[in-house]
Amino acid sequence: MVKNILLFDIDGTLLSSAGAGKDALEKGMSSKFGIDHIVDNLSLSGRTDKGILHDLLRLHGIEHTDASYETMMKAYLANLPECLKSVQGKILPGIKTMLEDLKTRDDCAVGLLTGNLRAGAKIKLGHFGIFEHFKFGGFGDHHLDRDDVAREALGEIHTRFGKDFATSKVWVLGDTPLDIKCARAIGAKVLAVATGWHTMKELESHGPDLLFEDLTHTDDVLDRMLS
């Protein structure tokens, strides 16, 4: 019987794609709109892909229409596999062991809470051979606000495990202040990990329930989450 649900962020939490996502965006902008270098002030950390693509078009003076958005989204997804192959990305410390441990437990369910497009999440996780561990979640296809991604994930939890499933038994694992914020929006607990762009001190200031430098010590991490 499932008693705990763990919702993982992808970039900076499960893996580092070593800039492959940004490379795929740049290639898409170049091939579809003739723009060879995207602006440096495009915010990526903790954002949804829908929000990033929206800002990408706006910051480059491209009218945001359904057609321009669809063109850019498809170009990004088409370029992402090759961009992942061309860089030295990696699964972050402790993740493989943690996922394998969780796979053996019938009291835990594992999902995603990510700003990635659903198709992009599958491409990234598939590249690193860990897609099979995640059966449900919330994604960045339809939402500008990360909190709404959390609400989508909570809806999936209610569908799969019942509307009475206690949110106090839901953990969001992420590496950004927005991961912490969106978890609070649904009443979930938060494990923050400093394997992304944000420091331990910065993450601590947002009040996560647990905070780790990385997830190397898997047994300790799971004991503290699930005890």
Q: What is the DSSP string of 121-141?
A: HHHHHHHTT-GGG---EE-SS
When pLDDT is averaged across residues 15-40 and rounded to a whole number, the result is 92
Query: Which CATH number does the domain housing residue 106 bear?
Result: 3.40.50.1000
Neighbouring C-beta atoms of residue 71, cutoff 10 Å: 17
What is the C-alpha to C-alpha distance for residues 180 and 191, in angstroms, rounded to an integer?
A: 8
152: confidence class by pLDDT, cuts 50, 70, 90:
very high
When pLDDT is averaged across residues 116-137 and rounded to a whole number, the result is 97
The pairing of strands 170-174 and 137-138 is: unpaired
Q: What are the phi and psi torsion angles at 212 (to 5°)? A: -130, 150
Q: Count structural domains, the chain.
A: 2
- Say what the pLDDT of residue 26 is: 93
- Say what the pLDDT of residue 39 is: 83
Query: Which CATH number does the domain housing residue 32 bear?
Result: 1.10.150
Is-above-0.85 flag for pTM? yes
* Mean pLDDT over each residue of the chain, to the nearest integer: 96
Q: What is the DSSP string of 69-105?
A: HHHHHHHHHHHHHHHHHHS--EEPTTHHHHHHHHHT-
37 vs 112: which has the higher pLDDT: 112
Q: What is the DSSP string of the chain?
A: ---EEEEE--BTTTEE-TTHHHHHHHHHHHHHH---S--TT---TT--HHHHHHHHHHHTT----HHHHHHHHHHHHHHHHHHHHHS--EEPTTHHHHHHHHHT-TTEEEEEE-SS-HHHHHHHHHHTT-GGG---EE-SSS-SSHHHHHHHHHHHHHHHH-TT--GGGEEEEESSHHHHHHHHHTT-EEEEESSSSS-HHHHHTT--SEEES-S--HHHHHHHHH-
- Say what the pLDDT of residue 113 is: 98
Question: Is residue 122 domain-shared with residue 155, that is, in the same domain?
Answer: yes
Q: pLDDT of 194-220, one tens digit each?
A: 999 999 999 999 999 999 999 999 999
When pLDDT is averaged across residues 147-159 and rounded to a whole number, the result is 97
Is the pLDDT at 227 greater than 90? The verdict is no
36: confidence class by pLDDT, cuts 50, 70, 90:
confident
Q: Which structural domain range is residue 217 located in?
A: 4-17+90-226
When pLDDT is averaged across residues 88-105 and rounded to a whole number, the result is 97
Question: Is residue 29 domain-shared with residue 10, that is, in the same domain?
Answer: no
When pLDDT is averaged across residues 176-196 and rounded to a whole number, the result is 97
When pLDDT is averaged across residues 152-181 and rounded to a whole number, the result is 96
Is the pLDDT at 46 greater than 90? The verdict is no
- Say what the pLDDT of residue 41 is: 79
Which of 45, 71, 86 is the C-terminal boundary of a domain?
Answer: 86
Question: Is residue 95 domain-shared with residue 178, that is, in the same domain?
Answer: yes
- Say what the pLDDT of residue 11 is: 96
Is the pLDDT at 94 greater than 90? The verdict is yes
Question: Is residue 160 domain-shared with residue 175, that is, in the same domain?
Answer: yes
Q: Is 122 exposed, middle or buried (0-12, 13-18, 19+ CB in 10 A)?
A: middle
- Say what the pLDDT of residue 150 is: 98
Is the pLDDT at 223 greater than 90? The verdict is yes
Question: Is residue 42 domain-shared with residue 149, that is, in the same domain?
Answer: no
